[in-house]
Chains A and B, each alone.
Chain A
Amino acid sequence: MYAFAYHRPATARQAAGLLAKKEDAKLLAGGHTLLPTMKQRLASPAHLVDLGACADLKGIERKGRNLVIGAMSTHAEVAASPVVQEAIPGLAYLASHIGDPHVRHRGTIGGSVANNDPAADYPSACLALGATIVTNKRKIEADAFFTGLYETALEEGEIITKIAFPVASKAAYAKFRNPASRYALVGVFVAKRGSDVRVAVIGAGEGGVFRWSEGEAALKARFAPKSLDGVKASAKGINADMHADAEYRAHLIGVMAKEAVARAVGK
């Protein structure tokens, strides 16, 4: 790891001030992507602004129809939160299956969403639930937030402060993990809110998280696992690597979507 100057602001506002003032500064959240990247010398920021002491980025609460989660909430905190378990149990389930127990004690929702790793779990929940990503400058709809592999709508100096998830009537997540790395080969989050049904897929798309429109159309007719019988995801634009080719991943989208729907309807 190359040397850097370290900063530990106490509020998001102070953090934004540091980001604006310091050249080549990066934010550090839970550090479970950035620190390994820096160790491999794939990143070498001159300044590291640690959000760990920003108490205003913590906290989980129900606000009317929304579940609002502070950006520095760890995966373990989201998974164990009675508020999350009551409002959107599928989201607590997702958080409880990220990485391993030790990773979940450090990794954060804000870090995961800002990084937009194509195999990260949270982006699927954001997109399927129609979440709003709140930053120190504005509010961004999930549909406009995830713009490509590791790419988001975040601008220079912008910090995610919280994420607001509208509470869905039915929502669940299912993923198929690579048995060795435990990263998702394919993960699917399904959500039904009123007549709207959204199906978001991670791990599979060449451009990162995406919505599976054929699946959504089939589930809008009837929100049941059976509705997905015979609905095939196209292998076009789907990742292929040594672990799974595009056809196999596309097939998994259907299988995982079906499992997620079954979970959502409690079967």
Chain B
Amino acid sequence: MATVSMTVNGKAVTATVDPRTLLVQLLRENLRLTGTHVGCDTSQCGACVVHVDGKAVKSCTALAVSLDGASVTTIEGLATNGALHPMQEAFREHHGLQCGYCTPGMIMAAVDMVNRRGNDLDEKTIREDLDGNICRCTGYHNIVKAIAAGAEAMGGKVQVRQAAE
């Protein structure tokens, strides 16, 4: 067994785990943060994407012990004080999901995309950068729309939530 300490969604956590424990297992099974999903378990589908030290990674392909001291953000860590993150709000607004299984990974990938490329994302860039995320409902059209809108909203230019709501 090995001890691993990290910050998850702003909270310090320490766990004693078998070294073969994957980051996604630590999140889901030890910390009960089940918003991060396991889709393919082979580094392809992106349902398990979380941020490690601010960068999107596939949590099914990282050992928890490798990330000792890291800061991890999961889908549960995006909303603040009960208000959805602008990217989550954009996915809701644009119906960027069908079954919802890939959604947490899509949203974490989308926020990472904005962090890397800024708030003005064209369709081609979004589609290319979604290379590592698969939606088996094939609902890409609205996902791409949601990401473009969410990216803009993260820049504070557009109020996603309508005042009439």
Query: Which of A1, A76, A102, A182 has the largest count of B CB atoms less than 10 A from its CB?
Result: A102
Known interface pairs A8-B68, A101-B112, A101-B131; A48-B42 also in contact (CB < 8 Å): no
A4 at the interface (CB under 8 A from B): yes
Size of interface on A: residues with Cβ below 8 Å to B: 26
A4-B19 contact in complex given A31-B66, A101-B129, A182-B131, C-beta closer than 8 Å = yes
Measured in the bound complex, the distance between the Cα atoms of B63 and A103 in whole Å is 14
* Interface presence of A168 (CB below 8 A): no
Interface of B with A (CB < 8 Å)?
2, 18-20, 22, 41-43, 46, 49, 52, 55-58, 61-63, 65-66, 68, 109, 112-113, 116, 129, 131-133
Chain A positions 1-28 with a Cβ under 8 Å from a chain B Cβ? 1-6, 8, 28
Write the residues of chain A forming the contact surface with B, with a CB cutoff of 8 angstroms: 1-6, 8, 28, 31-32, 35-36, 38-39, 48, 50, 52, 76, 99-103, 105-106, 182
Beyond A8-B68, A36-B61, A50-B63, whether A102 also contacts B46 by CB under 8 A is yes
A contact residues around B116 at 8 Å (CB): 101
Contact residues in A for B61 (Cβ distance below 8 Å): 31-32, 35-36, 106
Q: Are B132 and A99 in contact (CB under 8 A)?
A: yes
Decide: B57 and A106 in contact? CB cutoff 8 A.
Answer: yes
- Which residues of A lie under 8 Å from residue B133 when comparing CB positions? 100
Min distance, Cβ A119 to any Cβ of chain B, angstroms:
15
Q: Do A52 and B132 touch across chains, with their CB atoms under 8 A apart? A: no
Residue of B nearest to A2 (CB): B20
Taking CB atoms, residues of chain A closer than 8 Å to B18 are 3
Grouping DSSP codes into helix (H, G, I), strand (E, B) and loop, the B interface class, with mixed when no group exceeds half, is: mixed
* Nearest A residue (CB) for B41: A39
How far does the Cβ of B102 sit from chain A's closest Cβ, in whole Å?
13
Chain B residue contacts of A1, Cβ below 8 A = 20
Central interface residue in A4, A6, A48, A100, by most chain B CB within 10 Å? A100
Question: In the complex, are the beta carbons of B68 and A100 less than 8 A apart?
Answer: no
- Can you list 10 residue pairs at the A/B interface with Cβ under 8 Å? A3-B19, A28-B63, A31-B66, A32-B43, A32-B61, A35-B61, A76-B55, A99-B132, A100-B133, A101-B116
Closest chain A CB from B28 CB (angstroms): 16
Residues of A within 8 A of B66 (CB): 8, 28, 31, 50, 52
Residues of B within 8 A of A105 (CB): 52, 55-57
A4 vs B21: C-alpha distance in the bound complex, in angstroms? 11
CA–CA, A150 and B65, complex, Å: 27
